Structure 1
């Protein structure tokens, strides 16, 4: 009996040309390097028969609407070459983000509300392969000083075949090493103010719904509300008054950049950010403000822009 080991796992992801049709990702071209990975091969609902019988006991259930989920983190780094899509770009596209490549310059990602793409996923756990089809998802970002910044992606897909299959040989050179978040590598400003910042989070807020109908099954992206938060040093009100901005419902620009070397620069931009109710906190006996953020669109599908250059 062959033993299987948790350490020996592989993930492949490839965009689909036709929704739900296996794009057949390979280890040579479509390997995904992730950390903190969680794979659920059987999510869904359970229907009970609830039969009336003259005795007690579990009657069992029927599994319906079964799908799978894959979640994991990817380091925030470029491709190494301006104008070349990062290896994690395919995950952004699966999360209702449009990819626009300008050769030798940059690659931009902005949210979309129609014609969302999908991906095929292979998760191999030391010799047992699970396939997800028509997968779509959502993502969050966490950037904290003295840490590696990471996107966390959650993909939901229709179940494909489960089979014994050898672990693929992976080509992972496209994944570049991220630099840590610090003063030398990272900048951040909110409503034009660039104060000391302890942490930034973004959540694209995609609502993903498994849709199981007669004649049709799909994983649908049905809504999006992007939010985030910034933990900033609580400076004097004469420097910046977050409470007044919050009460007034002011909209302002958010600008962040991570990385300084061409080919490994990632920029985050929001042009109309509203600040929610500020809260007080402390870190190492210093007062800070936690600022909830709401990214609002201006003309539509423009509340957020991610640029890799």
Structure 2
């Protein structure tokens, strides 16, 4: 019988310490509800041997150190309970983010620059089980009108032998349906001093996730990040806010997106300081739009992006 590409299951759990070798994601609690997934079982290069011989032809190669890579996309949702982490929270933690739980109020995520968490994923491709230990990754978020909000993770992990295992019966009830992006569920952007309607928003954290192949230090490390994003807004006119002049003057300002109108559904993504590139015109059904690339910048360090799930942080406590 042929193997099927749409019969896949993934489980993920945080490790107690890096590559502990014992953490096992459970089907009952650690299942991941994905929209799509791509697995590269053996990512990495080979070593050319390049023999010199009295005839033409290929030289043999030696296998280099490999890692397993998984790229998967999820709906960006909440747990539905204030102060309870969303199901994607542990995935974000292994991408170099901290998690602060304020009971009954909110969960706060912000990037870190040391002591990143790591995890284990078990990805079953219709019976082929790929185990990735010491896994770390980087996220990208997309919130476009008339679509579902999504978060895409790109993970790298240390490989284990590929084995055969029946597809697990993963429990996915913790993955609540996300809210569609529209005027009913989503606020206009607060962008550099103006409130503007939008139809496209993205943020890619662009974490540098590397396979450290130094002899004796075989691990997956996060060595930096260069976040950037794109958005498309309804042109407010230069009389309201002149984004062209702001770009020319290298001005910076705040950017905030809020999705979900009730506290239990609310996700806020904010950046205190962003710089923008030259805006360009675009069209949406005859409406003049501005397409703008932006780059978040840290203010005090590890604060260039903040995600709050639940009630907003009170003004007197906000960074």
TM bucket, shorter chain: over 0.9
Provide the residue aligned with 2:3 in structure 1: 4
Provide the residue aligned with 1:293 in structure 2: 294
The structure carrying a bigger strand percent of its residues is 1
Provide the residue aligned with 1:257 in structure 2: 258
Q: Distance in 2 between matches of 1:249 and 1:50?
A: 50
Provide the residue aligned with 1:228 in structure 2: 229
| Deviation string, structure 1 residues 129-184 (Cα, Å, up to 9, x no partner) | 11111111111111111100101110011101311112111111111101111111
TM-score by length of 1: 0.96
SS at match of 2:283: strand
Structure 1 unaligned residues grouped into runs of 5+: none
Provide the residue aligned with 1:279 in structure 2: 280
- 1:287: Cα distance to partner? 2.4
SS at match of 2:270: strand
Provide the residue aligned with 2:88 in structure 1: 88
Q: Distance in 2 between matches of 1:171 and 1:113?
A: 33
- 1:89: Cα distance to partner? 0.7
Q: Distance in 2 between matches of 1:286 and 1:257?
A: 23
Provide the residue aligned with 2:316 in structure 1: none
Provide the residue aligned with 1:44 in structure 2: 44
TM-score by length of 2: 0.93
Provide the residue aligned with 2:59 in structure 1: 59
- 1:238: Cα distance to partner? 0.5
Provide the residue aligned with 1:29 in structure 2: 29
Q: Distance in 1 between matches of 2:169 and 2:100?
A: 30
Does the Cα contact within 8 Å between 1:31 and 1:170 map onto a contact in 2? yes
C-alpha RMSD of matched pairs (Å): 1.2
- 1:204: Cα distance to partner? 1.1
The count of corresponding residues between Structure 1 and Structure 2 is 308
Q: Distance in 2 between matches of 1:144 and 1:246?
A: 24
Provide the residue aligned with 1:173 in structure 2: 173
Provide the residue aligned with 1:210 in structure 2: 211
* Aligned pairs for 1:174-213 within 5 A: 174-187=174-187, 188-213=189-214
- 1:78: Cα distance to partner? 0.4
| Deviation string, structure 1 residues 218-237 (Cα, Å, up to 9, x no partner) | 11100112111211122321
- 1:48: Cα distance to partner? 1.4
Q: Distance in 1 between matches of 2:83 and 2:161?
A: 36
Provide the residue aligned with 1:15 in structure 2: 14
Structure 2 unaligned residues grouped into runs of 5+: 311-319
Runs of 4+ in 1 over 3 A off after TM superposition: none
Q: Distance in 2 between matches of 1:213 and 1:274?
A: 37
Provide the residue aligned with 2:100 in structure 1: 100
Q: Distance in 1 between matches of 2:124 and 2:62?
A: 27
Does the Cα contact within 8 Å between 1:26 and 1:168 map onto a contact in 2? no
